[in-house]
Chain A
Amino acid sequence: MEGKPSKLIPALIGGSIMGVLSSVPIINLGNCLCCMWVILGGGVGAYFYWRELSPDNEFSAGEGALVGLLSGIFGALFGTLIGYFFIATTGSNWFQQIMESIIESGEDIPTEFEDWLDTFEEGGFYSSLFVFIDLFFRIVLNSIFGTLGGIIGAAIFRKRKTADREGADKKA
C-alpha cells in the first residue's frame, strides 16, 4: 500500500474556491442556500484529495472531514482578504447591512451602534477591527461547514474509488 498524499494542496484548492465564491458580491448570496459555497469548497477539497489517492488506499470520511476542515480555514483566510478588498472599494459589509435593516424596521438600537455605523462610512478603526471579527466568525463557520462538505464529498467518492479498484482487480 502506497503512502497517502498530502492533504494541503487539495485543501488549498478547495479553500480558494470557497473564499472567492463566498466573498464576491452577489455570488456570495449562494451561501444563503445552506452555506452552499462553503460546503462546495469542502467537497472540492475532498474530490482533489480523492483524485490523488492510489487505488490501494481507502478514502475514509475522517480524511474527507480533515480536508474539508483545512479547506474551511484556508477559505476563511482567502475570503477575509477578498472581502476586505470589497469592503474597501464598496464601503459596505454584513454588519452594516444588518444594522441598517434593524434601523429600517424601526427598532430602538443602542446609540453606540449608530456611532459605529458612522465610523464604518469613514473607514475608521472599527472597520479594521471588524475585519478581525469577520475573520474569526469565518474561521468558525467555514470550519464547520467545510468539514461537512468534506464528509459529504467522502461519502460520495469513497464508493467510486472502491468500485474503480474492484474494476481494476477484475481486469487484472
Chain B
Amino acid sequence: MKAKRLFRYKNIYVFIVGFSILWCFLFISVPFFRAGGSFLRKTAVFIMYFFAPVCHQIAERSFHIMNYPLAVCARCSGIYLGFLFGAVSYPFIRKLDSALLPPRWILGISVIPMIFETSLSRLGLIPTNRFLMGFSGLVPGAVIAFFVIPAVFQLVDILIKNEVNDYGRKTE
C-alpha cells in the first residue's frame, strides 16, 4: 500500500515539475517567437493573450530577450521560476512519500521581501528594478511549491477515494 502510494506521489511530482517547465517555457519563449516568422508571431500573440488575465505585461517592468519583453512581468517571472526551482529541489528537502504541509509561518515570511520591495518602490524610496522585482518573487514562488506539491498529493488521494485522515492534524 505504501509502495503504491509512493509510486503515485512520484508520478504526480513528475507531472507538476513537467507542467512547471512547460509554463516557464511558454512565457520565456515569447520573445523568440516574436522575432520569428508569421506563424511564430501568431503563436506569441496567443501566449501573450493566455497570460494577459494574470499579469499586467508592462514592458518596462518585464525582462527582455532580443529586445522583446517576456509574456509576464519580472515579478511573475520570478514567482514562476522560483516555483520551478522549489519543485525541482523538493525531493532533496522533503520526502516524496509524505503529503504533510510545512508550517504556514514559512509562507508568511516568504512574502515579506515582495511586500517590502513593492512598498518601497511604490513610495518612491527605491527605483523600480526588474532584477529586484524578480528576486523578490523567487522566494515566495519556491516556498509555494512546498505547499502545492503535498496539497496536490492529498487532492489526488481524495479524488481516488484513498483519503488519509491525519493530514490536517500533523504539521512538521
Mutual binders A and B: yes
State the CA gap A108–B45 with chains docked (Å). 12
Question: Which of the segments A8-16, A26-34, A84-92, A118-126 contacts the partner chain?
Answer: A26-34
Q: Is B94's beta carbon under 8 Å from chain A?
A: no
A129 CB contacts on chain B under 8 angstroms: none
Is the contact region of chain A dominated by helix, strand, or loop, or is it mixed? Answer: helix
Q: Is A132's beta carbon under 8 Å from chain B?
A: no
Known contacts A58-B169, A102-B45, A151-B151; A31/B54 CB under 8 A:
yes
Q: Which of B38, B41, B155 is in CB contact (< 8 Å) with A69?
A: B155
State the CA gap A145–B53 with chains docked (Å). 11
Q: When the two chains form their complex, are residues B99 and A62 in contact, meaning their CB atoms are under 8 A apart? A: yes
Known contacts A22-B53, A110-B42; A58/B165 CB under 8 A:
yes
Known contacts A66-B158, A107-B34, A113-B42; A31/B53 CB under 8 A:
yes
Q: Is B144's beta carbon under 8 Å from chain A?
A: yes
Measured CB to CB, the closest approach of chain A to B33, in angstroms, equals 12
Measured CB to CB, the closest approach of chain A to B172, in angstroms, equals 13
B154 CB contacts on chain A under 8 angstroms: 60-63, 65
Q: Which of B41, B107, B152 is in CB contact (< 8 Å) with A65?
A: B152
State the CA gap A28–B41 with chains docked (Å). 27
B101 CB contacts on chain A under 8 angstroms: 61, 155
Interface size on B, residues (CB 8 A): 42
Q: When the two chains form their complex, are residues A162 and B104 in contact, meaning their CB atoms are under 8 A apart? A: no
Provide the A28-69 mask, 1 if CB < 8 A to any CB of B, else 0. Answer: 110110110010000000000000000000111111111001
State the CA gap A113–B50 with chains docked (Å). 16
Complex interface residues of chain B between 29 and 46 (CB less than 8 A to chain A): 34, 38, 41-42, 45
Q: Which of B42, B52, B168 is in CB contact (< 8 Å) with A60?
A: B168
Of the candidates B153, B155, B165, the one having the most CB atoms from chain A within 10 angstroms of its own CB is B155
State the CA gap A32–B51 with chains docked (Å). 10
A65 CB contacts on chain B under 8 angstroms: 151-152, 154-155
A61 CB contacts on chain B under 8 angstroms: 101, 147, 150-151, 154, 167-168
A29 CB contacts on chain B under 8 angstroms: 56
B156 CB contacts on chain A under 8 angstroms: 62
Measured CB to CB, the closest approach of chain B to A145, in angstroms, equals 7
B→A interface (CB under 8 Å) = 34, 38, 41-42, 45, 48-50, 52-57, 59, 75-76, 79, 99, 101, 104, 107, 144, 147-148, 150-159, 163, 165-169, 171
Please give 19 more A-B residue pairs, beta carbons under 8 A apart, in addition to A60-B167, A69-B155.
A35-B53, A35-B54, A38-B54, A58-B165, A59-B168, A60-B154, A60-B168, A61-B147, A62-B157, A62-B163, A65-B154, A66-B158, A102-B45, A110-B38, A137-B49, A138-B53, A141-B50, A147-B148, A152-B107
